[in-house]
Amino acid sequence: MAMSLGKSGTKAEINMTPMIDVLLVLIIIFMVVLPQVPTGLPTSLPQSAPPDAPASAPHDVVITVLGNGALKVNEEPGDLTTLPKRLLAIFGTGTHSVVFIRGGKNLDFAEIAAVIDVVKGVGVERVGLMTW
């Protein structure tokens, strides 16, 4: 860019070199910073079964906590004292199983935690929490 200043013929020009240097430094900074974008929470994705695995499907159980020790295991009524026997009857010796615990919004977490303790005591590895 040039600018003429009157009749003397002198021209004032903008020096582009410092601006190009600053832009190159900014590009380098962004190239260094962008690959370090944080990732989200780790998730476990469904895996396909190996070809020699038995054809038994994993059991998913939903335990509904009603409060005051009353439970429903897959819509069958029960209580906290009979829950370990029922879970052992459902899962047997299999350890690759999921139990979903569903509780209302107005329940104390102590009631949910008691059910989680029983489920973990039986040997179930994965517990999912639900609300209704």
- For the chain, domains (ranges, CATH) are 60-131 (3.30.420.270)
DSSP label at residue 101: E
Question: How many residues belong to the chain?
Answer: 132
Q: What is the pTM of this model?
A: 0.55
Q: pLDDT by residue for the chain (132 residues), tens digit each?
A: 555 556 666 777 888 899 999 999 999 998 888 776 566 666 677 777 777 766 555 567 899 998 787 899 988 998 888 999 988 888 776 656 788 999 888 888 889 999 999 988 888 888 888 877
Instruction: Answer whether 102's CB lies under 8 Å from 132's CB.
Output: yes
Residue 22's pLDDT is 95
Residue 54's pLDDT is 63
Residue 7's pLDDT is 64
Residue 20's pLDDT is 94
Q: Which residues lie below 8 Å from residue 59, measured CB to CB, with a gap of 6+?
A: 90, 91, 94, 97, 98
